[in-house]
Amino acid sequence: MNENPKIQESDELSLRELIEQYTQYWYLFVIGVLIALVLAFLYLRYTPQLYQSKATIIIKDEKTQSPLEMAAFSQFGSFLSRFKNNQIDNELAIFNSKRLISETVKELQLNIKYEVVGNIKTSELYGYKPFEVKFQSFNEDLDTNVPVLYFKILSSNEFHLESEEIEIADTYNFGEQIRLPFGEITVLPNLEDADKFEGYVNKTLLVSYHTVEKVALGFQDRVNIFNTDGKSNVVELSIQTQNKEKGQDFLDELVRQYNKDAVLDRNEIAKKTSAFIESRLQIITKELDSVESNKEDFKSSNRLTDIQAEAQITLENASEFNKRQLDVSTQMELSNTMIDYIKNSNPDELLPANIGISNESVGTAVNNYNELILYRNKLLQSSTSKNPVVKSVNEQIAQMRANILGSLENSRNGLRIAMKDLNVQENIISSKISQVPAKEKIFRGIERQQTIKEQLYLFLLQQREEASIALAATADRAKIVDSAYGPQEPVSPKKSLIYLGALLAGLLVPFGGIYSFNLLNTKVKGRKDVERHLKSVPIIGEIPKVQKGDSDLIKHNDQSIMAEAYRIFRTNLQYLFINKLEKNEEGKSLIVTSTIKGEGKTFVAFNLALTLALTGKKVVLVGADIRNPQLQRYLPEHLKSKKGLTEYIVYEDLQVADVVAQSEYNENLNIIVSGAIPPNPAELLMQKRTSTLVEELRKQYDYIILDTAPAMLVTDTILINKLADITLYVVRADYTDRRLLDFAKDAIEDGRLTNVAMVLNNVALNNFGYGNKYGYAYSREDRSLLKRILNKQ
């Protein structure tokens, strides 16, 4: 139970350290967010905005308007069901066809683009244009596109035209015909709004011409046409354009072109029917004239004026029979005419509809046959006869034509049988009126023929008028529910999403950079890294990073953060000596070492010696690194050549006073240089003279500081470690690899290094545990506002 709070505290500290890895670079997040927001603003400022326009229509189902016609086609039930289900899909395909969109582009002249050149971006002009370019002619031999033309309005009468592609630059008058390599153009000014026109004077406008097919393909990819509900005929059209009015005009014109195309289809059937009726009228007129002439001649030659009274009753009884004979004869004549027309006409031609055949299934079949012919012709406009859909439709057409012909022949056979029966009945009735003079019988036959021709003539006249009315009273196929409209705000780019994405990117990029840096960085960063590896070894000093322009050495009355850090280092060191050498009044010896070269052990040793000397204690600094001496960096030239540790060990006649030199930095500090570099430094340091030197120095000085070689690279420090009361192990932040701390840990655990205390060198101020972090200002230098914000020294 007692261990849980400790574990919890450790976890909290780890989480806090993790957070501090990012919060110490808060300024990077601020800068990242600012840059991201600025980039988002620039993106929104110069990215073209897209507006969505929508229109809603209802496609009228013509089949539902004639339920009797649908019932007549029961024999084609499966086909008609499939045809009706695909009707809306077919209409959607027509809406999105390149042919229909091309007509829309032509009507609105969308293939000619007008743009005004700005300082940074070019904007399209739609609606009001200061002038209009009329492309009068084109050179068909040119394979290249029409080059972009740059116009600059000079006044209401003239303009400047240039184009780098065709190497032209000249001034022209409005309305003048201009001959260019690709053809001829005429530029007409738009002076309806003088103020708007003046606003474009001295501005550069560019006009680009594209082929209708290319522009139509572009709109075909962008326009969306779909059935909002599979159970209804409601269709929604939408498109995204940079100019809202352009998108709305396009959708409205597309609907108009669709209705126009549907009207043309229906008119084609009506015209074909009208032409057929007109040809039949001419034939019937001639036949009727012939019958009437025969009647006139017969009555004149036989002097017939009235029917005999004795045949009155019989003839009245036969009137109904004559009517039936007349109807059958009429239907046989129409059937024969229709059969002859189908057999002699081209299979690809439309069949005449509504000519009066009483068989309703035949009339309905003809109407559906014509629908399939029109549908097949539309498919052939965008595909070939080898298309599987076209082949399927051709097969359906052939099948329906055969079915229609078969129905007509069956109907004719039935009429022949009926006529045969009627003829038999006629013979019976004729026997009853045998008393009627033969001439009267002949006269009745002539009158019957006349009546048939008259009824057929009147029927065809009626059908011709109906066809004319249908041609004149054609309604739109698509009923407009909502004309094209669109919201005021653009649909792309979304400002809120762009700014939110920029904000997240501004936070994530610095976060990712810091995370990657920390993930790949294996260097010691601060106190916590050392404590994790060396939990039982105390850290008695944290030396801040020397800033550019600062001195490397501690000065008298120094108030800098580094000087204060060494004072804290010195105080902590005193407590170690109190614990370890309370009763020892001789001088105290320290070894300053590190893992590898470059960690600042000589820098730490020299400044520690200066800090101890400032208290009035006698201090001697010994250059014990006789392999690669670094102490000479802080010494004047005359001391660098002085005899030192190497000479003292080798020459037994030398005394301590012979190798000791006075430091120019402090009167209480003496220095013993390393001397000449020997060929056998390890064996030399094992000599007794080395320990003798330390013993002699203990009697003369309060502190003996030995600047030794790196402990991992050579064995020198291990050999003389027993001469030191305390071993100061220097680790350099942002330089020493954390994995190298395992060497110090192993050396301490094995006893190769004893009485070790850690010194952390080159600590960044944001990781530094002392100084102005707690409100104390040890430096008198004036810092800029930016440095104070970023906590830079």
Q: Name the pTM for this structure.
A: 0.56
pLDDT of residue 304: 57
Q: Which amino acid is at 165?
A: E
Element housing 512 (H / E): helix 495-520
Percent helix, strand, coil in the chain (nearest 5)?
55, 15, 30
Say whether 357 sits in a helix, a strand or coil.
coil
pLDDT of residue 771: 43
Residue 785, number of CB atoms within 10 A of its CB: 7
Give dist(CA 170, CA 769) in Å, integer: 76
Residue 482's DSSP bridge partners are 56
Q: Does residue 381 contact residue 303 with C-beta atoms inside 8 Å?
A: no
Q: Are strands 619-623 and 703-707 parallel, antiparallel or unpaired?
A: parallel
Phi, psi angle pair for 228, to nearest 5° = -65, -30
pLDDT of residue 247: 87
What does the block give as tokens for 9?
Answer: 């505290």
Question: Sheet harboring 131-138: ordered strands across?
Answer: 131-138, 183-189, 177-180
Long-range CB contacts (within 8 A, 24+) of 650-659: 650/678, 650/684, 652/689, 656/693, 656/696, 656/697, 656/700
Q: Which CATH number fits domain 527-789: 3.30.70.141, 3.40.50.2300, 3.40.50.300, 2.60.40.420?
A: 3.40.50.300
Altogether, the residues listed in the chain come to a count of 793
Q: Are strands 131-138 and 234-241 parallel, antiparallel or unpaired?
A: unpaired
Rounded to 10°, the helix 3-23/26-46 angle is 50
Closest CA to 252 of 60, 113, 107: 107
pLDDT of residue 7: 39
User: What DSSP assignment string belongs to 190-233?
Assistant: --SSHHHHHHTBT-EEEEEE--HHHHHHHHHHH-EEEES-TTS-
Domain residue extents for the chain: 3-47+509-520, 51-259, 262-482, 527-789
Biggest CA pair distance of the chain: 185
What does the block give as tokens for 430?
Answer: 């004729």
Under-70 pLDDT residues of the chain:
1-14, 62-86, 139-145, 269-270, 298-318, 430-441, 443, 467-475, 579-585, 766-793
Sign of the alpha-carbon dihedral angle for 96, 100, 102, 108: negative
Q: Are strands 51-59 and 478-485 parallel, antiparallel or unpaired?
A: antiparallel
